[in-house]
Amino acid sequence: MRFVIFCHSLVSDWNHGNAHFLRGICSELMARGHEVAVYEPRGAWSRVNLEAEHAHAVEGFARAYPELHSTVFDPDMLDLDEALAGADMVLVHEWNPHALVRRIGLHRRDGGRYRLLFHDTHHRSVSDAEGMAAYDLSHYDGVLAFGEVIRELYRRRGWGRRAWTWHEAADVRRFHPLDDVAPESDLVWIGNWGDDERAAELEEFLFAPVRALGLSACVHGVRYPAEALARLKSAGIDYGGWLPNYRVPQVFARHRVTVHVPRRPYVQALPGIPTIRVFEALACGIPLVSAPWRDSEGLFAPGRDFLVANDGAAMQRHLRDLLNDPALARALIAQGLDTVRARHTCAHRVDELLAIHAQLDGERTHNLRSIPA
């Protein structure tokens, strides 16, 4: 089949987590013999910031993902007849402009024979409901929502014809344990500052425990203001800046433990969505301690796949235990790996996507047979 994907960026993961999952999905589709065409808009904020800060980052992506390519386009000038020729399934990410989302829908209405899905991987359904409601999805077959709570929002608010829950997952071709790399430091956290969406949580669940335990620690991410950098320094945490996501397995392998500190919108309004960092950490075989979030969909077994710290004191105890009890760390690693490999790889998500396509095609065939001759 031919898949066409309109995303914010395939090339840049600068403050853009969807690129992680998208790369894994595209690689998996191509490994199965499908054709994949990816379009990303000229001037996308993630790629603009990446190229401004790291001149050779795009070349690094090309070396790490030689099979993946994208076409940069002007949303107002794109020839949709050409881009969508021969398409079987089209995915349109929610960071695309409203006008482009509508244009693609009208193209589908006016004779497009492909299945057309809108892909939502952000908290804007609750943090910017007005902006999300402005998307015209009337001619889309449905929505891929990266959590059940988001799927239910689309259904309840009438934003889409139908919706499926399609969680993110780990690209285990690249995210896996590296047994030949020895740990050389205690803790690493990989995450962006996030517009103060978790500033207090980072103090409680990361900065303070590291300071209290005297751990060797490093943070990677972008958009850290001067005040945040000062807080890192006061906690004795090194700041490593932007980290290409394809280098994350090597960084995890050089550390003994990591943490997950979810952004406030996911904890308060979007339970059940862990974001992709949890999948990637478990796939890489590093012990994980998470700040509180409600796994309402039963994706994992909290306490077995990873430890949960309900407050800063618990985080401190869990980190100390993991760093001093190799058997506990090994058990956590093994269980987390088993869960990801059994349920949460990009191969699993491609299976789900193909099943959705088959369902839609089956319904279309049934409807055509129902039309009187």
How many CB atoms sit inside 10 A of residue 124's CB? Answer: 16
DSSP 202-215: HIIIIIHHHHHHT-
Sign of the CA dihedral with 104 first, then 110, 112, and 115 last: positive
Q: Looking at residues 352-369, what average pLDDT do you find? A: 82
Map out the domains of the chain with their CATH numbers.
2-169+346-370 (3.40.50.720), 185-343 (3.40.50.2000)
Q: DSSP state, 160? A: S
pLDDT above 90 covers what percent of the chain? 92
* DSSP H or E segment with residue 109: helix 98-109
d(CA 284, CA 306): 13
335's CB contacts (< 8 A; 6+ apart) are: 301, 304, 305
Confidence category of residue 367, pLDDT binned at 50, 70, 90: low
d(CA 202, CA 311): 11
Q: What is the pLDDT of residue 101?
A: 98
Q: What is the pLDDT of residue 372?
A: 37
Confidence category of residue 161, pLDDT binned at 50, 70, 90: confident
Q: What is the pLDDT of residue 311?
A: 98
DSSP 121-138: -STHHHHSHHHHHTS--T
How many CB atoms sit inside 10 A of residue 246's CB? Answer: 18
- pTM of the predicted structure, to 2 decimals: 0.95
d(CA 14, CA 173): 21
pLDDT tens-digit profile of 84-102? 999 999 999 999 999 999 9
CA dist list (Å): 83 to 27, 42, 77: 20, 15, 11
- Which is nearest to 246 in space by CA: 23, 82, 7, 95? 23
- Which is nearest to 237 in space by CA: 281, 277, 199, 189? 189
